[in-house]
Structure 1
Amino acid sequence: MATAPVGGERAAATLDDVARQAGVSRATVSRALSGHSAVRPETRRIVQAAARQIGYVLNQTARSLATRHAGAVGVLIPEPDERVFTDPFFSRIFRGAMSAFAGTDTHVLLGITNSSTPGWGPSGQNPMDLLGSGRLDGAVIVSHHEAATSALAEVAAQPVPVVFVGDPQVPGAPFVDLRNREAARIATRRLIEGGRTRLAMVCGPADMHAARERRAGFLEELAAHGLEPVAQVVGDFTMQTGRRATADFLAGRPGIDGIFAASDLTAWGALQALSEAGLQVPEDVALVGFDDSPVAEAVTPALTTMTNPAETLARTAATMLRDLIDGRAPAHRQVLVSSDLVVRRSA
C-alpha cells in the first residue's frame, strides 16, 4: 500500500504499490496498464482492479514519453459533421472501433476531418496534421471519396499505422470492406424474383468506391436476367436524395415496379415519395434498402434490406490497427465481409 507521510497527506500510489496489491511483478503491472497485448485478460483485470482499489492514476504524459506511444487512436471521418451525426452508420462504426480497444489503456477519439464538403480538400482538415502531431498512435479512416485519393495515398504512406474501412483504392493499403457488388446483386435478385421487371436505383455518390460497386452489381444482375434499368439517379446516402429521386422517377417514368436504394436512409426517402404519390409498398412498388440500420425496422412497411455490419467492419479494422501499433503483422491486410439479405415487408 502507499504510505502516508508526516502531515497526514497520503502519498500517490505507485506501480510498486499496484504490484503488491495485485500479487504480480512491477513489469506485469506496467504492461497491463499500458494495454500490452501479451498480458492475459484475467491478469489485466486483476491489475486494473488493484489500481482502482489503491487509487493509482496512470500518468499519461510519463507513459507517452517512456513508451513513445500517445495512448490514443483516431476514428477519422472525412464527411460533413451534420451527416456524421445523423447517419446511424457512423455511430455503429465508432462502437465497433471502441470495442477492439476495450480493456486496454488506449483512448479512441472521433475526428471529423471535414465539416463542409466530403473528402479531404481545401475546406477540410489535413489528416497528416493529426497523424504527424504525435497525438495519435494510429487511425481508422472511414467513408473516403475519390477526390481524396492522393491524400489517402499520402496518409497510407505515413509511419503512423492507418487502416481503412472501405477500399481506398490505394495499392497495398490495409482495409476492411463489404462485398458491395455481390450484395447489390442479391438485393436486385430479390426484386426480380418477386416478379418486378421495371427497376430503378437510387445510387450513392459517384466518387465513392462502395457506391460504384453497388451500382455495378445492380446493373450486372439486371443484365443476367435480360433486363435494363428503367432509371438511375446518382446522389448520396441521405433521405433527401431518396425522396427527390423517387419523385423524379414517378414523374418521368411511370410503371416502375421496383426500386433498389443504396442505403436505408435513401429507401426511407423513397417510401415517403411513394406514399405521397398514392402508391403502396410492396403492392405497387417493391423496395429494397441497404444497411439494415434501425431505420429499416422503424419505417412502415419495414424495409427488406442488405446487412452492412458496420460494427464488425470497424472492429476488424481496429484489431488490425492494434496489431500494427504493437509491431505485429495482421493475419490479413485486406479483408472482405459478406452481406446478408434481411426480408421484411417492403419486398
Structure 2
Amino acid sequence: MTDPPTLAEVAAAAGVSPATASRVLTGSVRVTTSTRRQVHDAMSRLGYVRRRAPRGSAGRRADHVIAAVVCEHSPRLFNEPYYARLLSACEEVLATHGIPLVLMTATPATASITGPPLMAGAVDGVLLIGPRARHPLPVTLAASGIPVRCVGRPPDGVELPYVDMDNRDGGRQAAEHLLLGNRKAITTIAGPPTLPAARDRLEGFRQALRDAGVMETPVAYGDFTHASGAHAMQWLMQRAPRLDAVFAASDVMAAGAMQTLRRAGRTVPGDVAVIGYDDAPVARHVTPALTTVRQPVEELATLAARLLLTALRDGGAPATDPVLPTELVVRESG
C-alpha cells in the first residue's frame, strides 16, 4: 500500500518551502494568492488530506462539535439581525441532535487565528457564513477534508458545498416592481462587491432594467449598515437629482436611505419609492413600512445545518447545492 503524501511532498510539488505550505493550511494572510493556489493544486494532484486526531484519542472529546464561522467583524455580527436569525435556527437544529454550536469570527486579517484550531480537529464540521472574495479561509477549508457547508454561495473559484438564496431573482423582482410602478429614474444602493450575495442582487436588478431598455443605473455601495445607506443615498441624490426610486440591498441600508430622503424634504413613496432586502424587523417598524424582498433566513439555516449533519453521518460529496426562492413583499414605501 502506498503511503499517503506528506506535507513536505506537497511543498516540493508546489515549489515552496514546508513552512509556506503549512502557513497555507492554517489560513495565514502572509501567503500570496498565487502561492496559495500552487499549494492547493499540489494537494489535489497528490491527494493530500490534512490528518486529524482519531476520535477517542488522548485529549480528544468524544462528542460532535460544530463551528459556525462568520466571516465578518464582531460588531456587525452582534448588530445585524440577519445573523441572530441565522445562528438561532442553526443552533435549534443541532440542539435536537445534542450537538453544541461554537461561534467564531474570521476576517481575512484574523483567519490565521481561526484556521489552526479548525485544521487541528477542534471541531467536526463547519458552517461557513458569508465568505467574501480573496478570503483565505474558504480556500483552506476546501482542501482540509473537514465537512463544510457554506451558508451563502462561496467566492468564485472555491469548491465548497453551499446553500444559498436566489439573490439574483430577488434583485429582478425589485426592479420589475419599480418599473411596473412607472418609476423612471431608478437607482440602487448595493452591498459590498466582494460578497457573492451582494453581487448577485445587483446583477439581477441591473439585468431586469437592461431587459426593459434602462441601460444606465446609478449605483452607490454600502456595507449593510444604517450609516452607509444614509451616506449612499446622499451621494445618489447628488449624482441623480431627479431620482424617483431606490433599491437598497438590505433593509437596514434602506432605512438609512429613507432618513436621508426625509431630511432632504423628499417624501416616500410620493417623490421616491424605496425597496429593501431581507424582510428584517426594521422593515415593518419604519414609516412608511418598507416594501422589501423577503429571504427565508431560518429555512436557509435549517437546511444548511441538516445537510452538514448528513455529511458528518454519511461522508462523501453532497448531491446538491440548494438555492431557495425569494419573495417580494409589497408594503407602503414603494
8 Å CA contact retained: 2:311, 2:318: no
1:25-49 deviations in whole A, cap 9, x for unaligned?
xxxxxxxxxxxxxxxxxxxxxxxxx
Report the Cα offset of residue 251 of structure 1. 2.5
Report the Cα offset of residue 130 of structure 1. 2.7
Task: Say yes or no: does 1:158 pair with 2:136.
Answer: no
In 2, the alpha carbon distance for the partners of 1:249 and 1:162 equals: 40
Report the aligned-residue RMSD.
2.0
Distance 1:70 1:253, change over 3 A: same
In 2, the alpha carbon distance for the partners of 1:177 and 1:241 equals: 25
Write out aligned runs for 1:155-304 (5 A).
155-168=141-154, 169-170=156-157, 172-304=159-291
8 Å CA contact retained: 1:142, 1:165: yes
| Bigger Rg, which one | 1
Q: Residue 317 of structure 1 corresponds to which residue in structure 2?
A: 304
Distance 1:94 1:125, change over 3 A: farther
Q: Residue 73 of structure 2 corresponds to which residue in structure 1?
A: 80
> What TM-score, normalized by structure 2, do the two folds share?
0.78
The 3-state SS of whatever aligns with 2:79 is coil
Report the Cα offset of residue 135 of structure 1. 2.1
The 3-state SS of whatever aligns with 1:201 is strand
The 3-state SS of whatever aligns with 1:85 is helix
Listed as ranges, the gaps of 5+ residues in structure 2 are 1-54
8 Å CA contact retained: 1:74, 1:139: yes
8 Å CA contact retained: 1:230, 1:256: no
> What TM-score, normalized by structure 1, do the two folds share?
0.76
8 Å CA contact retained: 1:70, 1:136: no
The 3-state SS of whatever aligns with 2:314 is coil
Q: Residue 43 of structure 2 corresponds to which residue in structure 1?
A: none
The 3-state SS of whatever aligns with 1:106 is coil
In 2, the alpha carbon distance for the partners of 1:71 and 1:331 equals: 19
In 1, the alpha carbon distance for the partners of 2:83 and 2:295 equals: 12
In 2, the alpha carbon distance for the partners of 1:160 and 1:331 equals: 13
Report the Cα offset of residue 206 of structure 1. 1.0
Q: Residue 97 of structure 2 corresponds to which residue in structure 1?
A: 104
Between the two proteins, the alignment pairs up a number of residues equal to 278
The 3-state SS of whatever aligns with 1:186 is helix
Report the Cα offset of residue 143 of structure 1. 1.0
Q: Residue 82 of structure 2 corresponds to which residue in structure 1?
A: 89
Write out aligned runs for 1:41-56 (5 A).
none
Distance 1:302 1:195, change over 3 A: same
1:137-191 deviations in whole A, cap 9, x for unaligned?
111010111021x531221221221110111134542100111111100011111
Report the Cα offset of residue 96 of structure 1. 1.7
Report the Cα offset of residue 289 of structure 1. 0.3
Distance 1:232 1:192, change over 3 A: same
- Paired amino acid for 1:92: R
Deviates more, 1:287-296 or 1:330-339: 330-339
The 3-state SS of whatever aligns with 1:177 is strand
